[in-house]
Amino acid sequence: MDRSEFRQGVRDVVPLLLGIIPFGFIAGIATVNAGLGLPEAVGLSTIVFAGAAQLAALDLIGRDAPLAIIVVTALVINLRMLMYSASIAPHFQRLSSRTKAAVAYLLTDQAYALAIARYRTDDSARSVAYYFGVAATLWVVWQLTTIAGVVLGTSVPESLGLEFAVPLVFLALLVPAMEDGPTTIAGILGGTVAVVTAGLPLNLGLLVGASVGVLAGLLTETATEGSSNGD
């Protein structure tokens, strides 16, 4: 592995950790609020390793939602990973199946954004070491901050209440992501539907809202692209 490329990946991702660290703390606190302990928190962060999906799953777990609803909701929220994978896959075609599996497991919004930007602007920088430098750093920081969040959550008196933290994190993730027409429509419509359907049986509101948001975003993007091609 190209160590210089790995180190470059680590250096490039450091500024993004300022947003990842508090996010990881909140994920740990949310685990406590959902009634889970440290082993469950570590298992969830290790196996799922997807911030927004973890928070959504923890919210549903805390509400005693059926397992199927929890799993499907997390899958819908992570559908964007399919697009990320298809986009970055050509740069990793020559890797072994085992290495590709590791790349897929570590794929996140930040790892994709940094890696694809570097690979597109520098044809010589196709080393997977750069990707692992970014992605592995994110993984380690996420695990550590999640554990710290669990410890912090168990030490905070229940009278203070930290339930507000998860909705605030979702708002912090949503607003910057609404950067164009499709994402803005997806965010507004998905959020509105989730609120309106919050009282549905089996805690289906979040799943319905997420599904509607994803579908609305895709339809809007398709319509926009079709309009542009027609011009």
3-class secondary structure, 152: helix
Q: How confident is the model at residue 135 (pLDDT cuts 50, 70, 90)?
A: very high
Instruction: Give residue-wise pLDDT tens across range 30-39.
Output: 888 888 888 8
The pTM is what? 0.72
Count Cβ atoms within 10 A of the Cβ of residue 160 and give its class: 0-12 exposed, 13-18 middle, 19 or more buried: exposed
Helix 17-33 / helix 128-155 crossing angle, nearest 10 deg: 40
Q: How confident is the model at residue 62 (pLDDT cuts 50, 70, 90)?
A: confident
Instruction: Give residue-wise pLDDT tens across range 165-219.
Output: 555 555 555 555 566 777 788 778 877 877 787 677 665 666 777 778 778 877 8
Ordered alpha helix ranges (H), 95-204: 97-105, 109-121, 128-155, 165-177, 181-196
Q: What percent of the chain has pLDDT over 90?
A: 17
Smallest CA-to-CA distance from 30 within 114, 173, 145, 177 is with 145
At position 136, the amino acid (one-letter code) is A
Higher pLDDT pick, 212 / 132 = 132
Q: Which residues contact 69 (CB under 8 A, 6 or more apart)?
A: 60, 202, 203, 204, 207
Of 9-23, 70-84, 121-135, 146-160, the poorest mean pLDDT is in 146-160
DSSP sequence for 36-92: --HHHHHHHHHHT--HHHHHHHHHHHHTT--HHHHHHHHHHHTTHHHHHHHHHGGGG
Whether the per-residue pLDDT at 65 is higher than 90: the answer is no
3-class secondary structure, 129: helix
Cβ(9)–Cβ(114) below 8 Å: yes
Q: How confident is the model at residue 98 (pLDDT cuts 50, 70, 90)?
A: very high
Whether the per-residue pLDDT at 104 is higher than 90: the answer is yes
Structure tokens at 102: 């590791």
**Per-residue pLDDT, 21:** 86
End-to-end CA separation in angstroms for the chain: 47
Give the separation between CA 73 and CA 15, rounded to whole angstroms. Answer: 30
Mean pLDDT score across all residues of the chain: 80
Smallest CA-to-CA distance from 191 within 161, 169, 164, 212 is with 212
**Per-residue pLDDT, 178:** 64
**Per-residue pLDDT, 41:** 87
